[in-house]
Amino acid sequence: MTDQIVLEHVTKTFTTKELGSVTAVNDFNLTVKKGECFSFLGPSGCGKTTTLRMIAGFEDLSEGSIYLGGKLVSDRSKNIYIPPEKRGLGMVFQAFAVWPHLNVFENIAFPLKVKKFPKDEIRRRVLEAMHYCNLDGLEKTFPSDLSGGQQQRIALARAIVVNPEAMLLDEPLSNLDPHLRESMRFEIKRLQKEFGFTIIFVTHDQSEAMALSDRMLIMDMGNIQQIGTPWELYNNPKNRFVHSFLGQSNFINVDVRNGKVYPKGETSQQIWVDNKPSKNGEQVLACRPNMMELTKDDGFRCRIIKRTFKTDFVEYLIKVGEDSAIIQAPHRVLFKNGEECCVKIHNPAWYDLEDEAAEKERERRNVV
Amino acid sequence: MTNKDFLKLEGKKSGISMDKIMTIFCYVALIAVVILPVFMIIYYTFWDGSKIDFEMFRSVLFQKENLRAMKNTLIIAVFATLFATLVGVFFAWLLGRSDIPMKGFMKFLFSIPFMIPPFLAAMSWDMMFSGRGGYVNKLLMSLFNLANAPLNINSIPGIIIIEVVYYFPFVYMQVVSALERMDPTLEESARIAGANQMYVIRKITLPLTVPAISSGVLLVLITSLSNYGIPSMVGYSKGIFTLPTMIVELMNRSGGSFVGIRQAAALSIVLVIVVAIALVIQRRLLTHGRYDIIKGKSMRPMLIKLRGAKIPLLVFSLFFLTLIVIAPIVMILLVSFNRAYGLPFTMENFTVMHYVNVFTKNAMVKDSVKNSLFLAFSAGAICLVLGTMLAYVIYKVKPKGGTILEMLAVLPYSLPGTVMSIGCILAWSGAFFGISLYNTIWIILVAYIARYLSYVLKSSSAALQQVHPSLEEAARSCGASHYEALKDVTLPLIKPAMLSGFFLVFLPCMRELTTSILLYGPKSRTLGVAIYQLRINGQINQAAALSVITILLIIIMNNLVKYITRDRRKL
């Protein structure tokens, strides 16, 4: 497989009145392979959309370079900047951005008209794209008469009609209702299989990213936190941010002495874990609620504080040292409120104490 | 009506609810200020005292003088609209979408024409470019050794130029707000589709702003058709008449004779028909073009880099804006401090005598300031009460014929001021119940109320529609009576809108000329009339001095409004 989209040391710095200088994207390095579906995931303001817009050519870089299909399209030091219309990309926006003054056919035909395709060729390709996007028979309709899902399919058809090598999707599903989102997700995947284009998918919805992507990355405050397959990111998160961002997690402050794990501020009993931390001292134990096992008398002894029935599992709240933790257990393991129990923690991750500088930066950005 | 009266009416004894009383009151008020004047114009035009008569209307319509006025009106309106639109769209694009510097300053300049009454601007342009001795003309003549004045503002092109300068901000405002609120991804997706910048502007941006442009066009067209101040200031001396100035001329010539008044009334109908045709054409063109271009997350639009064109465009814009916005004000200011009109602006000729004279020697001027303040305050207050009541009746009481009420209230807004005034004269000079307000300040007040009522109606009804019925119902369920719910819940909620409605009426009343020039009497001159007459009498410097005072008053009031509304937001 060849490299479709390559970003090298891409950096973007803004200066705003309220914040002074902000690094929206910091030393971003990424290689997306041809035909790959790659997601950018992160909280709002993490820089994922800015990165996408730099790839599209709507934003200038402050440093670094971007290659599309092996061609250099943005480079600050060499003063190269190819405008968006010459990058040969397809793009779908959150707000659909279908043109209200053009009907469905004219909307989808627009990219072909700009490129001066012959008329019958335009007609053939537009109808084909409409067919693939389940828009048959709507040629003469105006977008305002269509539903959100249909409008988004127009946007999709408009993007695939020129057969782009790569497609940029900027939260394309977040304006749709949950049910529609599910089916559009499926549709995008189907179209990708059909046409074989590369996808960069920006989203803040983790289940969307997990379901769609071959690989994904998680960003925070302009920095890539981790790149990998959805499975890797969920099961082997590199740091506390990734751990907490994907799925549910418990964080328990612990004190490790001689390889033994004690809850912080408690020395009476150690926590049962099946992989030991690599070092001693105060640190944070992280684990998923479904990786904690409740037993009658084997493990860390504690009490059930609260029990909540969820449809597919039972959720228990317990206290480990000063921290509370949530356990998801199958219905067959049943404890009462206030009952004594024991906890085993499987495959926990070990992180250093929270980085205060990072917290401060996060607060500074959230002021606006 | 006092609160006590309301309380009594609310009681079951009387059998009539408060809502019903208000509805009836609204009907009565609108009949008095709208229906009767409009009816009287039609009545006078087609009733010769004993029978229905179309002959007079026909003869007025085809009278040579009137035909010429009609032609002038149309030419001026069409070209003024065309150029105002071009200039307005150009600046809207420049400020809304390009990276030209000094945007804040330019936006400030655009707001100035809104504050200066059009007839004052016309007077100032006359001072600069009059064929006989306009200051700028004289300067150009001496600079380039010309025998004749190079520019003559006292002409149809002159009137067009002044109207363009005065009206293009209307288009600008409409379009720039559309551009600023437009979803930027609409343009970005066209770029991604392979279109270059110019193509996007032509095929996406412009078509999407068409609704905004055409509402600007409508505004300019209607205002130009019914404008009195500009053509009368610069056209009158050269015998150039438009329909509104011709109507006033006929009225003046008539000297109160029945036939003369009938002719003026007939010409008013002609003007109304012209305006109506313009409205219909515009509606026709607009029907297919209402779409929502504001969607999704708000993002700053991409600004287009002007690169090499930046500096030339900036210089051009600043020069243009200085000429059309600052120069007229400076001109009036200079003339007001100059010993005599026509003398060069040197230190020896500097004097404040005109300001002193205006206030000490001229009773008319003192009266006019008093009158204008009185009229503006009372018109504002009455419109505030009546307009809010109307809004309440139309949108909350929803009586049968509510739409008729609304149509009646909005009608005078699209009728030229001249026409409304003629109607008021005909209706309130003793025609009904022997009430004769002619030559008093009250007839002006009635006309102002009719003309500006819709401003309050609009701002109050917009606010009222946002007050969910459940709010009032919640008050009722807590034990409040209908009246108490209205007084303690609904009214406080729309108070800010009512307040801004008051100023929406107050400000235009302060700078009014069109209505008052027809309705003033010996003791009821307004600021506009006083300036106009000073100028006609040749006391141009005093006219300039009074203009400066008027502009200052308007600016002070305007800032007061801004101050009040800002305070409101803090609460």
Residues A241 and A352: their CA atoms lie apart, in Å, by 12
Q: Phi and psi (nearest 5°) for A22?
A: -130, 130
Q: List residues bridging with A10 in a β-sheet.
A: A28
Helix H, strand E, coil C: the string for B385-441 is: HHHHHHHHHHHHHCCCCHHHHHHHHHHHHHCCHHHHHHHHHHHCECCCCCCECCCCH
A111 close contact with B: CB closer than 8 A? yes
Q: Which residues of chain A have pLDDT under 70?
A: 1, 355-356, 366-368
Q: Residue A216 in contact with residue A233, Cβ under 8 Å?
A: yes
Establish if B300 touches chain A: CB-CB under 8 angstroms.
no
Chain B touched by A115 (CB under 8 Å): yes
- Which residues are paired to A14 by β-bridges? A22
Beta strand A250-257 pairing with A260-263:
antiparallel
Half-sphere exposure of A335 (CA within 13 A, CB side): 25
Is B196 in Cβ contact with A101 (below 8 Å)? no
- Tell the CATH topology of A248-351: OB fold (Dihydrolipoamide Acetyltransferase, E2P) (2.40.50)
DSSP string over A169-210: EESTTTTS-HHHHHHHHHHHHHHHHHH--EEEEEES-HHHHH
Domains defined for chain B, CATH in brackets: 19-35+357-571 (1.10.3720.10)
Query: Is A90 an 8 Å CB contact of chain B?
Result: yes
The C-alpha atoms of residue B337 and residue A64 are separated, in whole angstroms, by 63
Task: Give the C-alpha separation, B381 to B389, whole Å.
Answer: 12
* Tokens of residue B142, six digits: 């001496």
Whole-Å CA distances, A54 to A70, A159, B519: 16, 18, 65
For A292-343, what is each residue's pLDDT tens digit? Answer: 999 888 888 998 999 999 888 999 999 888 888 999 999 888 898 889 999 9
* Distance of alpha carbon A304 from alpha carbon A336, whole angstroms: 7
A58 close to B (CB below 8 A): yes
Fold classification of A3-240 is Rossmann fold (3.40.50)
Q: Where in chain A is the domain with CATH 3.40.50.300?
A: 3-240
Q: CA angle B544-B550-B555, nearest 5°?
A: 125
CB contact under 8 A, A56 and B186: no
Among A287, A299, A297, A285, which residue's Cα sits nearest to residue A343?
Answer: A299
In angstroms, rounded to a whole number, what is the distance separating the alpha carbons of residues A220 and A231?
A: 19
Q: What is the pLDDT of residue B567?
A: 54
Angstrom CA distances, A145 to A150, A173, B118, stand at 10, 19, 44
Give the whole-number percent of chain A exceeding pLDDT 70. Answer: 98
B26 phi, psi to nearest 5 deg: -60, -45
Which residue, among A58, A96, A101, A103, would best test binding to B if mutated, counting the most B CBs under 10 Å from its CB?
A101
Cα–Cα distance for residue pair B527/B525, rounded to 1 Å: 7
Confidence (pTM)? 0.77
Please tell me which of the candidates B189, B207, B296 has its beta carbon nearest to residue A101: B207
* Interface contact A93-B296, CB threshold 8 A: yes
What pLDDT does residue B20 have?
85
d(CA B120, CA B124) in angstroms, rounded, equals 6
Q: Distance between CA B325 and CA B306 in Å, rounded?
A: 25
pLDDT given at position B99:
84
A322–B contact, CB cutoff 8 A = no
Which residues, including other chains, have CB under 8 Å from residue A241's CB and lie 6 or more apart?
A218, A220, A225
In 3D space, the residue among B468, B454, B470, B352 whose CA is nearest the CA of residue B411 turns out to be B454
DSSP per-residue codes, B45-109? HHB-SSSB--HHHHHHHH-HHHHHHHHHHHHHHHHHHHHHHHHHHHHHHHHHHB--S-HHHHHHH
Task: Using alpha carbons, select from B59, B224, B57, B88 the residue that is nearest to residue B156.
Answer: B224
Tell me, what's the pLDDT at B3?
Answer: 59
> What number of C-beta contacts closer than 8 Å exist between A and B?
80
The one-character DSSP state at B205 is: I
In whole angstroms, give the CA distance from residue A17 to residue A59.
19
B190: nearest CB among A87, A110, A162: A110
DSSP assignments along B219-239, one per residue = HHHHHHHH--HHHHHHHGGGT
- B189 and A155 in contact by Cβ < 8 A? yes
Cβ–Cβ below 8 Å for B193 and A89 = no
CA distance A158 to A161: 5
Q: Reduced to 3 DSSP states, what percent helix, strand and coil does chain B have, rounded to the nearest 5? A: 75, 0, 20
Residues B548, B330: Cα–Cα separation, whole Å: 10
pLDDT in tens, chain B (571 residues): 455 555 544 544 445 677 888 888 888 888 888 888 888 888 888 877 777 778 878 888 888 888 898 899 999 999 999 999 999 999 998 888 888 888 888 888 887 877 788 888 888 888 888 877 788 888 888 888 877 777 788 888 989 999 998 888 889 988 888 888 788 888 888 988 888 888 988 888 888 888 888 888 888 888 898 888 899 888 888 888 888 888 888 888 877 677 778 888 888 888 888 888 888 877 777 655 555 555 544 456 667 777 788 889 999 999 988 888 888 889 888 888 888 887 777 777 788 788 888 878 777 888 888 899 999 999 999 999 999 998 888 888 888 877 888 888 888 887 888 888 888 888 887 767 777 777 788 989 999 998 888 888 888 888 888 888 788 788 888 878 888 888 888 888 888 788 888 888 888 888 888 888 888 888 888 988 988 888 888 888 888 998 998 888 888 887 877 777 665 544 3
> Would you call B191 and A84 a contact, using CB atoms and an 8 Å cutoff?
yes
Q: Which pLDDT value is given to residue A101?
A: 85
Nearest CA in chain B to A157: B193
**Residue B196 burial (CB < 10 Å; 0-12/13-18/19+)?**
middle
DSSP letters of A246-280?
SS--EEEEEEEETTEEEETT--S---EESS--SS-
- Confidence at residue A106, expressed as pLDDT on a 0 to 100 scale: 92
Amino acid at B50: S
Phi-psi region of B98 (alpha: psi -120 to 50; beta: other; left: phi over 0): beta
- Asked if the C-beta of B52 comes within 8 angstroms of chain A's C-beta atoms, the answer is no
Angle formed by the axes of helices B206-226 and B417-427, nearest 10°: 40
**Is residue B338 within 8 Å of B541, Cβ to Cβ?**
yes
**Residues 147..206 of A with a Cβ closer than 8 Å to B: which?**
155, 158-159, 162, 168, 175
For CATH 2.40.50.140, list the domain ranges present in chain A: 248-351
Q: Is the ipTM of this complex over 0.90?
A: no
Q: How near does any CA of chain B get to the CA of A56, in Å? A: 7
Contacting residues of A for B183, CB less than 8 Å apart: 95, 97
